[in-house]
Amino acid sequence: MAKTAHASFWDKIAERYAARPIKDPEAYEAMLADASGRFAPTDRVLEIGCGTGGTAIRLAPFVAEWIATDFSPEMLRIAEAKPAPDNLRFVLADAQSAFDGGPFDAICAFQVLHLVDDLHGTLAEIHAHLKPGGMMIAKTWCFAEMSLKLRALFLGLRTFGLFPKANALTKAALREAIRQAGFEIVEERVFGTNPHGPYIVARKG
């Protein structure tokens, strides 16, 4: 996947991450329903930063091939131990190899873009490895718009190694970066009650 905080951080928290329940199951199911409805059965899809694979396992049945990448061996170890569709492949990949095998019909980046060191470079790579008219589907935390109390909490957790380094994005800055990469934003939604994690569907022109 695109370079994020060191893989060792994610290796260390992988078991806790996998055991953590989904905070808003209804919102998560609504997001899956929207994403799955945008795919064609013939699509080849790349997911960057797949973590422990839960979303990939749910969405892979809607496409021909789903390649789920992450740069944390421990996250992928947990993902590969789960029952999964035959058309789903988990791949250990860093920033240099995540996009191997393209171009793709769609690239998914769920809870990833706020973690990358180079947002503009990552979006450019996504755009370059999509087919003409291909989609990027992303859900991204916009920490700059959270309350001071929440931001202070995350900073404290990061000080103790319990939270990764994250970009302080606003929704406006995220939209502009996506457009500058050559995408047209075709839909933006918020699932659930938290307004700071927009779900954006963008199309390559």
Q: What is the pLDDT of residues 101-158, one digit of tens each?
A: 999 999 999 999 988 889 999 999 999 999 999 999 999 989 777 656 555 544 554 5
In a domain, 100, yes or no: yes
What is the Rg, in whole angstroms, of the alpha carbon atoms belonging to the chain?
Answer: 16
Q: What is the model's pLDDT at position 166?
A: 63
Residue 173: pLDDT above 90?
Answer: yes
Q: What confidence category does residue 164 fall into, taking pLDDT thresholds of 50, 70 and 90?
A: low
pTM: 0.89
Residue 54: pLDDT above 60?
Answer: yes
In a domain, 55, yes or no: yes
Q: Which CA distances in Å does 188 have to 52, 139, 164, 195?
A: 25, 10, 25, 11
In a domain, 1, yes or no: no
In a domain, 86, yes or no: yes
Query: What is the chain's length?
Result: 205
Peptide bond into 195 cis (omega under 30): no
| Domain carrying residue 83 | 7-204
Q: Average the pLDDT over 98-103 and give the result.
A: 94
In a domain, 79, yes or no: yes
In a domain, 2, yes or no: no
- 1-29: pLDDT as tens digits: 444 447 888 888 899 889 999 989 999 99
Point out the least confidently predicted range of 18-22, 83-87, 142-146, 188-192: 142-146
Give how many domains the chain has, as a whole number: 1
Residue showing tokens 């250990």: 92
Return the number of other C-beta atoms located less than 10 Å from residue 179's C-beta: 13
Q: Average the pLDDT over 57-83 and give the result.
A: 97
| CATH, residue 47 | 3.40.50.150
Residue 93: alpha-carbon gap to chain centroid: 14
